[in-house]
Amino acid sequence: MEERTQFSNIDFTIAPLNESDKKQIESFSCGCTELDDFFHNEVFICARYCYVSPFCAKNDQGDIIALFTLSNDAIVLTSSEDKQDFVDEITYSVDADYQQVFCKQSSFPAVNIGHLAVRIDYQNKHIGKDILDFVEATFSNYKVSGCQFITVDSLNNPRTNKFYMQNGFSLQTNNDSTAPTRRMYLPINLF
């Protein structure tokens, strides 16, 4: 899953992160201690045990400018009220021939973007948005598995929440408004 982006004014390549990238990761910083600690200390063990699949974005010089992980996920709605609110919000974009099937589901297949981190000196240059676009294009065009949504557990701070919401994500619930992360989702352009 390596692809050169064509979205931003910065030319970069997205590829799987591997052990040969360890030296670069040691000096990588996005300015968020929690994310930096994950990539410095946990990413490779999490990958080894298939908890996440890590990826990196590298510029033309081969420098890592962003890191992120992907994992399988699902939006699972346990209460009928949550399900109805969710279905009401999404069905406008679901084609009529699929609406009846969609409304019967209680869980919806998704891919989770975890630990999205852009190096400090590359922030505010649309790298994060380009990564979101890459993930959406990958799962809507290649159909490697059933996947209707992209999910994220956004660090619960105004800057991060604003980033995801400006890129089309919606809050899944308001029950996590004071939690360390906010659960968000984005419908993949399948409907």
The tens digit of pLDDT for each residue in 127-173 reads: 999 999 999 988 888 777 889 999 999 999 999 999 999 999 999 88
Give the Å distances, CA to CA, from 34 to 82, 88, 145, 170: 30, 35, 30, 23
In the sheet with 170-171, reading across from the earlier edge strand, the strands are 3-4, 12-16, 53-59, 64-76, 107-118, 149-155, 181-187, 170-171
Handedness of CA 101, 104, 110, 115 (dihedral sign): positive
CATH label, 3-187, candidates 3.40.50.2000, 3.40.630.30, 3.30.360.10, 3.40.50.300: 3.40.630.30
Is the pLDDT at 3 greater than 70, yes or no?
no
What's the pLDDT at 102?
A: 83
Q: What is the pLDDT of residue 9?
A: 53
Residue 118: C-alpha distances to residues 24, 26, 62, 131, 152 (Å): 14, 14, 15, 10, 16
Q: Where are the domains of the chain?
A: 3-187
Segment 49-61, tens digit of pLDDT: 999 999 999 999 9
Burial class (CB in 10 A: 0-12, 13-18, 19+), 129: middle
Q: What's phi and psi for 51, nearest 5 deg?
A: -75, -35
Q: Write down the pLDDT at residue 94.
A: 79
Question: What values do phi and psi take at 171, rounded to 5?
Answer: -70, 135
Query: What pLDDT digit, counting tens, does each position of 110-133 carry?
Result: 999 999 999 999 999 999 999 999
| Cα separation, 16 vs 45, whole angstroms | 15
Per-residue pLDDT tens over the stretch 21-31: 999 999 999 99
